[in-house]
Amino acid sequence: MLYAGFMSSALPPFPEPQDPFGAPQLLEVGPLPEEACLRADAARNRARLLEAAARLIAEHGVDGVTMEAVAAAAQVGKGTVFRRFGDRTGLLTALLDHSSRTLQADFLFGPPPLGPGAPPLDRLRAFGVAVLHRSAEQLDLQLAAQPEACRRFSHPTVQALRTHVTMLLRRILPDADCDLLAQALLAYLDPALIHHLTRQCEMPMERLEAGWTDLVTRVTGASTTG
């Protein structure tokens, strides 16, 4: 069954500027390169703006998130929001990138079968199910934050997911063109397709999960218990 709304489970806490960074690094999906050099006060302001945007989504949905509304909620000038994120899409993308770190932490460092320790085929199956549920939970945000077509597949978040799928495929099918196979598999997990299937075609999540498992089985030539 579909997860509850976007904010049914809270976003992970926004890190304070002084948080340690000695742990293994997640794939890079976060702020633009210049964000890494933000002064402590600027980093706190950025976190406050993202928190304000998250509250607005919880209260009013994605349509309630405007640059003006976020500025008012964070008690800063509208120009501050524009300087930090550029436009509404940039703001929503930053919010989505922040939540993407939770998924990445799960498949990079979490328990099996999604995380390390399970066979690559089991991890690939678990990965698709996790992405399906994350997309269902955050679908409106994902659609609103999706870059234009010419930048969609080069976005760091998409690149991070593709890298993970490609690495798993190379362990399962070392002689295959795993770069292209990863693209084909990820097309099944595209937010626009999930929106069409779940909301327009009214397909239950269980059917999408079964479809992902069947697709992985057919692509890899594995048995359903392999």
Tell me if 10 is assigned to some domain: no
Q: What is the mean pLDDT of residues 67-83?
A: 90
My answer on whether 76 and 97 are in the same domain is no
pLDDT tens digits, 126-174:
999 999 998 888 888 888 877 777 777 887 888 999 999 999 999 999 9
Tell me if 29 is assigned to some domain: no
Domain that holds residue 198: 88-220
pLDDT of residue 7: 40
Distances (CA, A) of 193 to 44, 126, 188, 196: 36, 19, 7, 5
CATH number at residue 128: 1.10.357
My answer on whether 82 and 102 are in the same domain is no
End-to-end, the C-alpha distance of the chain in Å comes to 26
Tell me if 2 is assigned to some domain: no
Q: What is the 3-state secondary structure (H, E, C) of 43-65?
A: HHHHHHHHHHHHHHHHHHCHHHC
Q: pTM to 2 decimals?
A: 0.70
Res. 38 pLDDT band, cuts 50 70 90? low
Tell me if 189 is assigned to some domain: yes
Least confident of 57-71, 112-126, 138-152: 138-152
CATH number at residue 81: 1.10.10
Calculate helix-pair angle for 120-137, 156-172, nearest 10 degrees. 150
My answer on whether 139 and 78 are in the same domain is no
Q: Whose CA is closest to 100, among 161, 15, 185, 189? A: 161
Residue 52 CB neighbours (<10 A): 21
My answer on whether 128 and 174 are in the same domain is yes
- Counting the structural domains of the chain, the total is 2
pLDDT tens digits, 149-158:
777 788 788 8
My answer on whether 63 and 121 are in the same domain is no
Query: Structure tokens of 61?
Result: 């949905």
Tell me if 99 is assigned to some domain: yes
pLDDT of residue 50: 86
